[in-house]
Amino acid sequence: MTLDEMISKTDKRKAGFTLMMEHLDKFENPFIVETGSIRPESTYEGDGMSTLIFDTYANQKGGKVFSVDIDPINSSFARQQTTMTNVITGDSVKTLYDMQKHWVTDDETIHLLYLDSYDFDIKNPHPSSLHHLMELTAVMPALKPGYTMIVVDDNFLASNDGGKTVFEIGKGQYVKEFMDLINKQRIYAGYQWVWKL
């Protein structure tokens, strides 16, 4: 399956993935960092299949992918499904914190940071939202203005009859609050929320 065919199957994530691919195309051999690897039960429509999409991108256009998942079943499955992805089993916050030291020392540029590790519960949004903010904090020293795009999956917007957004919630809620405070405007607000440093 081609990259375009894969993205066309992602439904509510299609626009977000399209933005990501356009961003990555600006760089030679881009580096993609992902939290939350593909799961055996994943589907394009339900989960996005980001690990496969990123691995296919690296295969077709160059680059490399780093993916971390706390569940060894997911990690094992992701390794079996990919060829260009370094899949690590571990807590994403600790792993990103440890890895960013090496990436900074080696002058590695993260072109895309995709945060999607901790399942979101709309009845209890705090744990997931906080976890994704901690992931961003852990890897922040390795991110570079002008190069890094940050994406958080699984967000929800509600609007009134006039089309004005009146309610936002999701994995990216606290990331958005942080980005607002440092004057980094969100450039896309669909199911995936997107920023550029």
pLDDT value of position 161: 64
pLDDT value of position 140: 97
pLDDT value of position 88: 97
Measured CA to CA, the distance from residue 90 to residue 87 in angstroms comes to 10
pLDDT value of position 82: 97
pLDDT value of position 195: 98
pLDDT value of position 166: 63
pLDDT tens-place string over residues 146-179: 999 999 999 987 666 666 666 789 999 999 999 9
pLDDT block averages, 10 residues each, the chain of length 197: 93 96 98 96 88 97 97 97 97 98 97 95 93 98 97 84 73 96 95 96
pLDDT value of position 158: 67
pLDDT value of position 42: 82
Residues with Cβ within 8 Å of 71's Cβ and at least 6 positions away in sequence, in order, are: 39, 89
Cα torsion angle, 117, 190, 54, 113, sign: negative
Query: Which among 143, 192, 178 has a CA at the least distance from the CA of 32?
Result: 143
pLDDT value of position 178: 97
110 φ, ψ to 5°?
-85, 115
Measured CA to CA, the distance from residue 113 to residue 150 in angstroms comes to 5
pLDDT value of position 44: 87
Measured CA to CA, the distance from residue 46 to residue 103 in angstroms comes to 32
85 φ, ψ to 5°?
-115, 130
